Amino acid sequence: MDAWKLDGFVASLTAASPATVRAYRSDVARFAEWASGTTVDGPDDVSRDHVRRYVAFLSGRGMARRSISRAMASLRRYFAWRTRDGGAAFDPTAGISVPSGQGRLPRVLTADQLGALLGAPADDGAPEWRHLRDVAMVEVLYGSGLRVAELCALDVASVDLDARAVRVWGKGSKERRLPLSEPSVDAIRAWLAHRDDVATVPDALFVNPRGTRIGTRDVRRTVDARASSPTHPHALRHTFATHLLDHGADLRAVQELLGHASVATTQRYTHVSKERLKSAYEVSHPRA
């Protein structure tokens, strides 16, 4: 993070209010963290394509257009400062626009994208435990609709494989018990048979190569590496919810499964489901 010189950028915001300064710093730091998961080592490595991908990433997570606009305003201010005072010769935000409309609908994976993600082969030379862990993680993300942070927080004791259930602690420290799909149960069993070969902590269900509890960045990199195109783990949660509604699940039931405090949050998936049905009709019906 030192390469981004955030303290120098913040010091340049002499006319901004303290709240605005905090927002600018937070937005740039969030972009820097996202960029570190790509080929970017510092701000000089950022290209227009990286910025476009970041806008698509925010849209894919269901972020409102207003929030994306603010994030882009922060990045424009930051890179303007770099080109003015930091000696940078190129502003990667130039010519990048925020998508029009009131915010994109959640991104839902196609059948091919989901199949590629769930069925990705093991990497040559990678240890067997890593492939088994990765399969188990993506199966649980899709099969139970977990948030990434919820997945990372799972303990071995959180899963009851005989009952095909998982206990999850969500936002606001609210607990919910979710069903596990049959592929998830099989994948977790296979992973647990090898977990002790790498784990150095007693509780965490999923661990990193150091043997400690896995982090959200590790999960993001795993999903991106298995996917056929850049994919955020949250897309699996979006796909889980939409597939349930596509097949007639009750909205309130989906709300409970997702752990949403308000049904209004869940309702956006009904719009996705309706758009998918409309698209299927237009493609398939002979008189559409």
Q: Of 111, 112, 102, 58, which Cα lies nearest the Cα of 271?
A: 102
- Catalytic residue of the set 147, 195, 232, 243: 147
User: How far apart, in whole angstroms, are the C-alpha atoms of residue 260 and residue 279?
Assistant: 27
Question: C-alpha distances in angstroms, 191 versus 50, 132, 134, 156, 203?
Answer: 34, 5, 9, 11, 14
Specify the DSSP class assigned to residue 43.
G
The residue from 107, 195, 237, 238 that is catalytic is 237
Report the C-alpha gap between 236 and 106 in whole angstroms.
Answer: 10
* DSSP state for residue 99 in the 8-state scheme: P
**Identified catalytic residue from 107, 131, 226, 234:** 234
Residue of 84, 171, 210, 278 marked active site: 171
Is residue 269 among the annotated active site residues?
yes
Of the residues 167, 221, 260, 276, only one is catalytic, namely 260
Q: CA 49, CA 96: separation in Å to the nearest integer?
A: 9
Is 213 catalytic? The answer is no
107 an active-site residue? no
Q: Which one from 24, 54, 78, 269 is the annotated catalytic residue?
A: 269
Torsional sign, CA 205, 211, 213, 216:
negative
| Active site amino acids | 147, 171, 234, 237, 260, 269
